């Protein structure tokens, strides 16, 4: 039960990270930025490249500090990259239609989302790729001494196109032992290296996302409430024409809002993919939708609302199926967790359309 | 001349809102802009503040050609305005309304703010001090933490002036500052406007429909009708100008 609760909270924290971007952008230009999930995906991919090419996959183990540093590097790259993509997207896609009305902007957002997804498929392939995990490299001669776990053997092979790639095969399933025959076969087949995957402890990843949210929430609150840029954001959100005439460069303020929203989504992207172990161009879709639900549950436009909504949704997605399975003996309950999330959205929209912390907006007459 | 407009023209499709208007303001002038409804006064303000770009004509401000400058750039160059229908940010408190606009001392980036560097604190303190003293100057020192929407009408108008002054303007545009005020409040506003001009070295251009107020405070007056400048002169001259009486004042002379 506690385990499910913690899982739910950790997942909720990831939703909250994404929901923040939705809610901030909505707050300032009243746009539901459907491409936000793609900023998240882009961040996750950048994190993937850092971890794969510079980080954990290349590091000799055991070495706790460099591993930690490589995750920090991945998170930084993901956040900055997602933020930069958001700024570019806003500049070329949203700014030109800003005065064309909300429907035009919404349609643009859906298109941007599809374009980014397809660009990612073109660039990185449609197949899901395993998210890098720390590896312990083992000498082939020393295989007998290796702990029985997920062992992978690597060899260079030439593809039909003449390209040399590193080919990996899983040689021993988790928990099984490596026998002499397998070892001999590996060597005969020309495998130069063997490594063991050391999965991150789930407790650690959960702890990390919750801690990250705990650190980020006050920073964001501070930026929006206390700084001049934050005040400018609130001014633009309420009356952007007055803000312009008071010397506030609204293009810059809006760009910063996009940057900041995508920056935190980048953190969520890496955290999400580390927890689920894979990344693909469509990675952003479902968490993006869920985070949108979280933002609506919390009250769109409200920063504390996005955090609360994320945590509520994550917990509900974990505890409700758990209760249904344990209480009613319904084994398939967890397969229905997405349906539960969307049902929650419908309930909120019917009974409290402004969300938990949202305020009713009186239409100006 | 701190401000100079030459042949200012603005067309919206077939409608000419402002047509060939010339206007000159010297440092320290207190000038009125009057005319019947739809004469193009507000369009003039929009052109001067850069909210709208003129179809033709040029605008020079402090010796610089600013015809194509954008609204927020004009604001930073020192043109501030208040609004006919009050446009305060009602979701921020009174102090933040002014602080959002204030520039004091060195610039401070987001990074410095996020890391709460000493520079951020220094800038923040300077901004708060400046905003507070402006609000005190306009008699709003006791309502810093209140929401602008809860203030009485006259206070809201003065808060708009405080917010405009936070830009350190050289040219202040007041759009119907006396609208909705009773004679006592109007008299007080006249005092305030005169005092502020001296204290802050302002050049002031104002629109108002209350002739007593405009004639009482302005040294010169421009009169617009159908987008054209039909008269220009001292209040005494304007009061007796035939065209003005015909178009706007009615026989008051």
ipTM of this predicted structure: 0.83
Q: In angstroms, what CA-CA distances link A179 with A184, A191, A197, A232?
A: 9, 16, 19, 67
Based on the fold, state whether residues A344 and A215 are members of the same structural domain: yes
Residue B72 to residue A245, Cβ atoms within 8 A: yes
H/E stretch holding B233: strand B228-233
Q: Chain A partners of B100 at a C-beta cutoff of 8 Å? A: 228, 231-232, 234-235, 243, 246, 248
Residue B251: the pLDDT is 59
- Among the partner residues A229, A241, A247, nearest to B101 by beta-carbon distance: A247
Q: What is the pLDDT of residues B82-122, one digit of tens each?
A: 998 889 999 899 999 999 988 765 555 666 666 667 778 88
Total domains present in chain A: 2
From the list B76, B87, B120, the residue facing A242 with the nearest CB is B87
Does the pLDDT value for residue B192 go beyond 80? yes
| CB neighbours of residue A252 within 10 Å | 13
Residue A44: closest CA among A3, A69, A14: A14
Residue B253 has pLDDT above 80, yes or no: no
Find the helix packing angle between A2-29 and A228-238, rounded to 10°.
Answer: 70
Q: Quick one: closest CA in B to A231, which residue?
A: B100
Q: Which residues of B touch A246 (CB under 8 A)?
A: 72, 75, 80, 100-101, 163-164, 167
A219 and A78: one domain? yes
Residues on chain B touching A226 (C-beta within 8 angstroms): 113, 124
Residue A143 to chain B, least CA–CA distance (Å): 49
**Residues in CB range of B232: below 8 A, 6 or more apart:** B220, B221, B222, B223
- Using the predicted structure, report yes or no on whether residue B204 has a pLDDT greater than 90: yes
Residue of A nearest to B93 (CA): A231
Q: Last residue of some domain: A150, A174, A197?
A: A197
Mean pLDDT (chain B, rounded) = 88
User: Domain boundary residue among A149, A170, A197?
Assistant: A197
Q: Over range B127-141, report the average pLDDT.
A: 92
- The reported pLDDT for the residue numbered A365 is 41
For residue A25, give the 3-state DSSP assignment. helix
- Note whether residue B52 is domain-resident: no
DSSP per residue over A259-308, as a string? HHHHHHHHHHHHHHHHHHSEE-TTTTHHHHHHHHHHHHHH-TT-HHHHHH
Chain B partners within 8 Å of A238 (Cβ): 89-92
One domain for residues A187 and A225:
no
pLDDT of residue A133: 79
The reported pLDDT for the residue numbered A178 is 64
pLDDT at A145: 52
The pLDDT value given to residue A3? 87
Q: Domain check: are A342 and A223 in the same one?
A: yes
Which tokens sit at A358?
């949202």
Nearest CA-CA partner of B146 in B133, B161, B135: B135
Residue ranges making up the domain that contains A304:
2-131+201-351
**Residues A246, B100: C-beta atoms closer than 8 Å:** yes
Residue B130 lies in domain = 89-155
Distance from C-alpha of A131 to C-alpha of A333, rounded to nearest angstrom: 27
Q: What is the predicted pLDDT for the residue at A363?
A: 46
And the tokens for A110? Answer: 């859906």
**What is the H or E stretch that residue A154 is in?**
strand A151-158
Q: Within a domain: residue A175?
A: yes
A363 within domain boundaries: no
In chain B, what residues touch A220 (CB-CB under 8 Å)? none
Q: Quick check: B99 and A228 CB within 8 A?
A: yes
One digit per residue, the tens of pLDDT, for chain A of length 365 reads 888 899 999 999 999 999 999 999 999 998 999 999 999 999 999 999 998 887 666 666 556 667 788 888 999 999 999 999 999 999 999 999 988 888 999 999 999 999 999 999 999 999 898 888 777 766 655 555 555 556 777 777 777 777 766 677 766 654 555 667 777 777 777 776 777 777 677 788 888 889 989 988 888 888 888 888 888 999 999 999 899 999 889 999 999 999 999 999 999 999 999 888 889 999 999 999 999 999 999 988 888 999 999 999 999 999 988 888 888 888 888 888 888 888 888 888 888 888 888 765 554 44
Look up the pTM and report it.
Answer: 0.84
Longest dimension (CA), chain B: 66
For residues A188 and A205, state if they share a domain.
Answer: no
A275 and A343 in a single domain? The answer is: yes
Can you give the pLDDT at residue A331? Answer: 81
Closest C-alpha to A18, from A91, A94, A79, A72: A79
* Cross-strand partners of B172: B80, B204
Task: Please report whether residue B175 resides in a domain.
Answer: no
Check A238 against B101: CB less than 8 A apart.
no
Instruction: Please state the domain count of chain B.
Output: 1
The CATH number of the domain holding residue A72 is: 1.10.3470
In a domain, B124, yes or no: yes
**Residue B236, min C-alpha distance to chain A (Å):** 34
State the Cα–Cα distance between residues A297 and A304, nearest whole angstrom: 11
Domain assignment of residue B59, yes or no = no
Tens digit of each residue's pLDDT (9 = 90 or more) over B116-132: 677 788 888 888 999 99
Smallest CA–CA distance from B74 into chain A, residue = A247
H/E stretch holding A80 reads: helix A64-89
């Amino acid at each position: 039960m506690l385990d499910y609760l913690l899982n739910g909270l950790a997942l909720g924290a990831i939703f909250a990270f994404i929901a923040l971007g939705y809610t901030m952008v909505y707050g300032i230009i009243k746009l539901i930025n459907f491409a936000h999930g793609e900023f998240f995906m882009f961040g996750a991919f950048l994190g993937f490249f850092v971890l794969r090419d510079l980080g954990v996959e290349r590091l000799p183990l055991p070495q706790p500090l460099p591993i930690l540093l490589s995750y920090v590097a991945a998170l930084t790259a993901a956040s900055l990259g997602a933020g930069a993509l958001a700024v570019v997207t806003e500049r070329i896609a949203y700014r030109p239609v800003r005065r064309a009305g909300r429907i035009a902007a919404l349609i643009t957002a859906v298109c941007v989302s599809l374009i980014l997804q397809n660009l990612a498929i073109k660039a990185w392939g449609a197949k899901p790729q395993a998210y890098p995990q720390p590896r312990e490299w083992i000498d082939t001669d020393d295989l007998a001494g290796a702990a029985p776990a997920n062992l992978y053997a690597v060899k260079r092979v030439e593809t039909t196109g003449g390209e040399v790639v590193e080919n990996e095969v899983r040689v021993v399933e988790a928990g099984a032992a490596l026998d002499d025959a397998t070892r001999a076969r590996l060597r005969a087949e020309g495998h130069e290296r063997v490594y063991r995957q050391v999965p991150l402890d789930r407790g650690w990843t959960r702890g990390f996302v919750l801690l990250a949210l705990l650190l980020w929430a006050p920073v964001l609150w501070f930026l929006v409430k206390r700084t001049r840029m934050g005040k400018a954001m609130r001014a633009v959100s309420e009356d952007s024409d007055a803000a312009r005439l008071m010397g506030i460069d609204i293009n810059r303020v809006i760009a910063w809002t996009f940057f900041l929203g995508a920056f935190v989504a980048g953190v969520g992207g890496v955290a999400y993919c580390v927890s689920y172990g894979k990344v693909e161009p469509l990675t952003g879709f479902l968490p993006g939708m869920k985070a949108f639900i979280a933002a609506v549950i919390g009250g769109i436009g409200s920063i504390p609302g996005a955090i609360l909504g994320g945590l509520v949704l994550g917990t509900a997605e974990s505890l409700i199926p758990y209760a249904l399975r344990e209480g009613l003996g319904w084994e398939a309950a967890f397969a229905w967790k997405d349906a539960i999330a969307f049902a929650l959205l419908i309930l909120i929209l019917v009974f409290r359309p402004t969300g938990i912390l949202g305020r009713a907006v009186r239409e100006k007459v | 001349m701190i401000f100079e407009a030459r042949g200012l023209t603005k067309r919206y499709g077939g409608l000419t809102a402002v047509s060939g208007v010339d206007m000159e303001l010297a440092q320290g002038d207190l000038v009125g802009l009057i005319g019947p409804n739809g004469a193009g006064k507000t369009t003039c303000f929009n052109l001067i503040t850069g909210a709208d770009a003129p179809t033709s004509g040029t605008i020079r401000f402090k010796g610089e050609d600013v015809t194509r400058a954008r609204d927020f750039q004009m604001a930073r160059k020192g043109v501030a305005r208040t609004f006919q229908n009050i446009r305060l940010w009602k979701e921020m408190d009174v102090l933040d309304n002014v602080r959002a606009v204030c520039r004091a001392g060195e610039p401070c980036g987001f990074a410095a703010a996020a890391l709460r560097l000493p520079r951020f604190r220094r800038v923040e303190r300077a901004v708060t001090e400046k905003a507070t003293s402006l609000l005190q100057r306009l008699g709003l020192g006791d309502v810093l933490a209140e929401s602008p929407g809860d203030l009485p009408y006259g206070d809201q108008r003065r808060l708009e002036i405080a917010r405009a002054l936070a830009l350190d303007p050289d040219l202040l545009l007041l759009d119907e500052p006396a609208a909705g005020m009773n004679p006592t409040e109007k008299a007080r506003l006249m005092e305030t406007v005169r005092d502020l001009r001296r204290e802050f070295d302002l050049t002031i251009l104002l629109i108002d429909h209350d002739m007593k107020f405009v004639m009482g405070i302005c040294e010169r007056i421009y009169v617009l009708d159908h987008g054209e400048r039909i008269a220009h002169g001292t209040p005494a001259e304007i009061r007796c100008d035939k065209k003005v009486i015909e178009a706007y004042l009615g026989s008051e002379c």
